[in-house]
Structure 1
Amino acid sequence: MGSLVRFLFTLTAAVGAAALLAASLRRRAPPSGLPAQVVPSSHMEGRNRSFVLWLHGLGDSGPANEPIRNFFSAPEFRLTKWSFPSAPRSPVSCNNGFVMPSWFDIHELPMSAGSPQDENGVLKAVENVHAMIDKEVANGIHPGNIFVCGFSQGGKDSID
């Protein structure tokens, strides 16, 4: 039953993210008056491409989340580059120190505003995400076309 619930939450997150990202890319799309056969120059291509960085949840892996991209079939995603990195394996306090893929340590569940936090681990995760984003910007993807998405521990709000 746990796998089914996890799958349904992931599915719901992916469908919601697909709609939001498509709407965002639609707002950034070039004017619709251009003929469909026009191929963007290499100078313009970087501005029209997008990058989605999808971060998995605690104990999961990047490759296990790759099927999520199948939900993003709108034309706005045809020039989208995807990345599904895996978190490093490290001990997780709330799971009795069990070593598993984790972006940072979680000391207790459920978490509250007063819960102990792994500040160094969170800062390292943020550093790693920024390095991945910086690489894509250096490769010509416009910063406004970069999206950080995820599920559970990999959810964007948890690593800001």
Structure 2
Amino acid sequence: MASRWKILPRIVAQSGPKHSASVIWLHGSGDTGPGVLEWINMVWKEEFQFPHIKLIYPTADPIPYTPNACQPSTVWFDRQQISPMVPEILSSVDASAAKLNDLVQNEVDSGIPLSRIIIGGFSMGGGMAFHMAYRYQREVAGCFALSSFLNNESVVYKKLRNVEDRSALPPLLQCHGTRDELVLFDWGKTTFKTLTDLGVCGEFHEFNIFHEFNKKELQILQRWILDKLPPD
């Protein structure tokens, strides 16, 4: 399937001879794939990689972003404001989902099954990952969301209510800073509770940090990824 990305994804190859799994990491609003990769490596103190897992850091296409006075910004979707109280702008969510579906299909076409792919992200990237894992690609190996939330009336919740076999839903890792002043801790915790009440099997970790991640959080994520995507 032909790629529709204007900006090619930044890819970190596996450190071993061959990759048998893939992780797609989505950046936060206004950031880029290379930008979040640089931040991860700065926190990790070296390159964050795995012997058998390819890491993919795509960049969202610039679109008019309402909280930024409708100026173009690299965001996965538009929203009225950063709040769970407002309705989702699904047209922009679904536009990014179509491109991310292409990216997932590229991995499948290269020989990586959906059961060996994880989708996750930071902030808005985690919000987009919720839509991908629980609306579009429910056969993936897992979903992670760092400092993220869903709107209170999210279509993700509505879709999950109609799922017959909830035991097959992708497992979730969610992390959040208790001092986060941009995406409030309670928003993330409420999102996690709602998802798990709807049948998602997950784990939630809290940290005494702001809207950011730290090395301990990345260590938990590393272990979780290896648990879901062990060497083949």
TM-score tier after normalising by the smaller chain length: 0.5 to 0.7
Moved over 2 A (4+): 67-73
Which residue number corresponds to residue 201 of structure 2? none
Which residue number corresponds to residue 109 of structure 2? 138
* Cα RMSD, aligned residues only: 2.3
Paired residue secondary structure (2:84):
coil
Which residue number corresponds to residue 70 of structure 2? 97
Q: Paired residue for 1:107, among 80, 87, 99?
A: 80
Structure 2: distance between partners of 1:158 and 1:59: 19
Overall identity of the aligned pairs, in % = 30
Paired residue secondary structure (1:66):
helix
Q: Paired residue for 1:56, among 18, 21, 27?
A: 27
Answer with 51-60 or 97-106: which moved more. Answer: 97-106
Normalization by structure 1: what TM-score? 0.61
Bigger fraction of residues in strand? 2
Q: Which has the higher contact order (CA 8 A, sep 6+)?
A: 1
> Could you tell me how far 1:117 is from its partner in structure 2?
2.0
Paired residue secondary structure (1:125):
helix
Amino acid at match of 1:86: T
Which residue number corresponds to residue 130 of structure 2? 157
Which residue number corresponds to residue 167 of structure 2? none
> Could you tell me how far 1:107 is from its partner in structure 2?
1.0
Which residue number corresponds to residue 5 of structure 1? none
> Could you tell me how far 1:158 is from its partner in structure 2?
5.0
Paired residue secondary structure (2:102):
helix
- Determine whether 1:81 maps to 2:39: no
Point out where structure 1 has 5 or more consecutive residues left out of the alignment: 1-39
Amino acid at match of 1:150: G
> Could you tell me how far 1:157 is from its partner in structure 2?
1.7
> Could you tell me how far 1:109 is from its partner in structure 2?
2.3
Which residue number corresponds to residue 66 of structure 1? 37
> Could you tell me how far 1:92 is from its partner in structure 2?
0.7
Which residue number corresponds to residue 19 of structure 1? none
Paired residue secondary structure (1:91):
strand
Structure 2: distance between partners of 1:126 and 1:62: 16
Structure 1: distance between partners of 2:108 and 2:93: 22
Structure 2: distance between partners of 1:158 and 1:135: 19
Larger radius of gyration between Structure 1 and Structure 2: 1
Alpha-carbon displacement from aligned partner over 1:20-66 (angstroms, at most 9, x marks no partner): xxxxxxxxxxxxxxxxxxxx9xxxx7xx7110111000000100112
Amino acid at match of 1:121: S
Amino acid at match of 1:133: V
Which residue number corresponds to residue 190 of structure 2? none
Aligned residues: 111
Q: 1:142 to 1:82 in 2, by over 3 A?
A: same
Amino acid at match of 1:78: P
Amino acid at match of 2:87: P
Paired residue secondary structure (1:52):
strand
Normalization by structure 2: what TM-score? 0.43
Amino acid at match of 1:96: A
Point out where structure 2 has 5 or more consecutive residues left out of the alignment: 1-16, 136-232
